[in-house]
Amino acid sequence: MHCNGSCKKYKATSTGLDGSRYELGQKRCPECELFIDWEGLWCPCCGRLLRSKPRAKKLKTKRK
């Protein structure tokens, strides 16, 4: 499915001082290409599975 733009109302903001976006509970949608504040596992806009863990190795080790 494609992004229909309804995810814009769930768009998350980050100051960079609070820590990692994933530590703050934000999730990333690979289809919509943005971080959102959403409790579910699936994007409310396009229905894709949200990423809740970092992909970069240095960020993965930082979480432990």
**What does the pLDDT read at residue 37?**
92
Question: Is residue 23 within 8 Å of residue 63, measured between CB atoms?
Answer: yes
**What does the pLDDT read at residue 28?**
93
Average pLDDT over the chain reads 83
C-alpha 14/C-alpha 7 separation (Å) is 17
Cα 28–Cα 31–Cα 33 angle in degrees, nearest 5: 50
Over residues 22-48, mean pLDDT: 90
Task: Return the domain boundaries, the chain.
Answer: 1-64
**What's this model's pTM, rounded to 2 decimal places?**
0.75
Over residues 5-31, mean pLDDT: 84
50 versus 24: the higher-pLDDT residue is 50
**What does the pLDDT read at residue 63?**
58
**What does the pLDDT read at residue 54?**
83
Question: Is residue 37 within 8 Å of residue 29, measured between CB atoms?
Answer: no
Three-class SS state of 9: helix
Helices (H), ranges, the chain: 57-63
